[in-house]
């Protein structure tokens, strides 16, 4: 069900509820008003009779007080009759039904408003010594007709207001839902992988905020997509270069060494060959081959990581860098938790440290590099890696994210972890990564 339909239905139901409640209140008030009006008219009539007859001279004739009764014709909402001593009934006031037949309210409204009104009998003692009785009956049809006309006007106004409200809501939704269509279309495009979607600036502030947020999401996704593609391409290039280098080393080192061993083995089979010298040469070539194979295996995957754990592998890595860079002071601190890490966590942490050392030595020209690997004090279920150097440092906002930094971020993200960089020019750099254990 659309939002427009839901709101229109709710407005209509609310309007119907208001009409029912207003109608109930209007009928109740009309009933009370008619009762008060009838009671007031009856009391006024009786007071007028008392005043009029008391002011009449004692010897007044019949036609005098009959003339006084004619003035009661101006009393509304009452039907007044005079019952003489002989039982004859004379109408003092009459109701002209034909004159107002066209504007009478419906019968159901009259039944709801009209109450049971008692007939009032007022005895009269005339000057002519002819007793009579004045009969006063309620006839509030005029009052009910007026209330009905007011009620019709009131409810007509409410109905018109409801129709105008529904029309206004319809027009408002026509204008309001247009940006939603554009937003939905942009989101569908983003869901399909089209991150070039850009929404315009809408005049409505809320939609403008949504459009701005979606545009930022689209830009970030587009940037991440470009970085991932570049990182993937770079990884493929590195793999290809590594394979080429391994193939070249296998050809140059293993191929030549095996050829030399083969030649020496053939020479050892000839009469008069110096077996001791040939054996020493073969041992030397085998030692060289073992060193080459160990170096290749270290580059592919450090065996110490699987056999001895992360701490031993990091110590071996730092020892390698210390031999080639004796001017740099390396330090390593590892907690006992490091010894029981998962294999997946160990290899990723190892590669991150490897990349950090490469950056600190080759780019930052650091004199000291400190590595801390321990559990977070506030959360023992997380492991924190911190690599600090005293190199040149840089402004993070001016830092161009290379493939090394992107690679570290992706490795930490693959472990559901977080990585943060802190640096200032001349103050070195600190890389902190936390991962769940």
Could you tell me which residues come within 8 angstroms of residue 182 by beta carbon, excluding any fewer than 6 positions away?
A: 199, 200
Q: What is the pLDDT of residue 102?
A: 57
CA–chain centroid gap for 260, Å, is 74
Residue 299 in contact with residue 338, Cβ under 8 Å? Answer: no
Residue 378 in contact with residue 406, Cβ under 8 Å? Answer: no
Q: Which residues of the chain have pLDDT under 50?
A: 59-63, 98-99
Torsion sign over Cα 51, 55, 59, 64: negative
Q: What is the pLDDT of residue 100?
A: 53
**CA nearest 120: which of 15, 196, 44?**
44
Model confidence pLDDT, tens digit, residues 11-56: 888 888 888 888 888 888 888 888 887 778 777 777 766 766 565 5
CA gap 144, 104 in Å, rounded? 9
CA gap 428, 356 in Å, rounded? 12
Q: What is the pLDDT of residue 62?
A: 47
Torsion sign over Cα 396, 428, 378, 312: positive
CA angle 206, 210, 214 (to 5 degrees): 170
Diameter over CA atoms, the chain? 186
Q: Is 81 helix (H, G, I), strand (E, B) or coil?
A: strand
CA gap 222, 319 in Å, rounded? 41
CA gap 390, 75 in Å, rounded? 109
CA–chain centroid gap for 21, Å, is 36
Q: List C-alpha distances in Å: 15 to 12, 19, 409.
A: 5, 6, 59
Q: Is 342 helix (H, G, I), strand (E, B) or coil?
A: coil
Q: List C-alpha distances in Å: 91 to 95, 122, 358.
A: 10, 15, 121
Say if strands 78-83 and 89-91 run parallel, antiparallel, or are unpaired: antiparallel
CA gap 340, 343 in Å, rounded? 9
Counts for the chain of helices (H) and strands (E), in that order:
11, 9
Every domain of the chain and the residues it spans:
3-167, 302-436
Say if strands 368-375 and 132-138 run parallel, antiparallel, or are unpaired: unpaired
Q: List C-alpha distances in Å: 282 to 278, 279, 287, 312.
A: 6, 5, 9, 32
DSSP 297: H
**CA nearest 341: which of 311, 386, 320?**
311
For the domain made up of 302-436, give the CATH fold. Answer: Heat Shock Protein 90 (3.30.565)
Q: What is the pLDDT of residue 19?
A: 81
CA gap 27, 40 in Å, rounded? 20
Q: What is the pLDDT of residue 67?
A: 54
**CA nearest 70: which of 49, 44, 40, 96?**
49
Neighbours of 340 (CB within 10 A): 9
Q: What is the pLDDT of residue 182?
A: 82
Question: Which phi and psi (to 5°) does residue 374 adopt?
Answer: -155, 170
Q: What is the pLDDT of residue 413?
A: 86
């Amino acid at each position: 069900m659309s939002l427009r339909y839901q709101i229109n239905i709710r407005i209509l139901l609310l309007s119907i509820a208001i009409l029912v409640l207003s109608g109930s209140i209007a009928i109740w008030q009309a009933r009370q008003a008619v009762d008060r009006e009838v009671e007031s008219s009856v009391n006024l009539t009786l007071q007028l009779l008392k005043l009029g007859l008391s002011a009449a001279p004692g010897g007044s004739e019949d036609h005098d007080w009959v003339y006084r009764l004619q003035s009661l014709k101006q009393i509304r909402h009452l039907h007044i009759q005079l019952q003489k001593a002989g039982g004859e009934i004379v109408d003092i006031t009459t109701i002209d039904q034909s004159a107002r037949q066209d504007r009478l309210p419906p019968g159901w409204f009259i039944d709801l408003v009209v109450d049971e009104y008692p007939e009032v009998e007022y005895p009269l003692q005339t000057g002519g010594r002819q007793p009579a009785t004045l009969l006063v009956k309620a006839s509030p049809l005029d009052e009910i007709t007026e209330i009905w006309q007011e009620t019709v006007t009131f409810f007509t106004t409410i109905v018109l207001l409801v129709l105008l409200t529904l029309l206004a809501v319809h027009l408002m939704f026509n204008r309001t839902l247009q940006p939603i269509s554009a937003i939905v279309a942009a989101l569908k495009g983003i869901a399909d992988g089209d991150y070039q979607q850009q929404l315009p600036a809408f005049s409505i502030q809320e939609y403008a905020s949504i459009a701005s947020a979606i545009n930022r999401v689209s830009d970030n996704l587009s940037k991440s997509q470009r970085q991932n593609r570049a990182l993937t391409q770079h990884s493929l290039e590195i793999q290809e270069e590594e394979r080429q280098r391994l193939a070249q080393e296998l050809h140059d080192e293993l191929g030549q060494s095996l050829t030399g061993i083969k030649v020496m083995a053939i020479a050892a089979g000839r009469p008069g060959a110096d077996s001791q010298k040939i054996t020493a040469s073969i041992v030397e070539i085998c030692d060289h081959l073992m060193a080459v194979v160990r170096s290749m295996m270290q580059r592919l995957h450090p065996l110490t990581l699987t056999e001895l754990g992360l701490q031993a592998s990091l110590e071996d890595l730092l020892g390698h860098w210390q031999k080639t860079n004796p001017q740099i002071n390396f330090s390593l601190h590892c907690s006992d938790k490091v010894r029981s890490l998962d294999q997946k966590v160990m290899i990723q942490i190892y590669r991150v440290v490897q990349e950090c050392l490469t950056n600190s030595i080759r780019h930052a020209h650091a004199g000291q590099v400190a590595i801390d690997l321990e559990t977070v004090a506030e959360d023992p279920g997380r492991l924190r890696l911190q690599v600090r150097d005293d190199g040149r440092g840089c402004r993070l906002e001016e830092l161009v994210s290379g493939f090394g930094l992107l690679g570290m971020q992706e490795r930490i993200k693959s472990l559901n972890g977080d990585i943060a960089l802190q640096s200032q020019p001349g103050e070195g750099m600190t890389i902190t990564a936390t991962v769940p254990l």
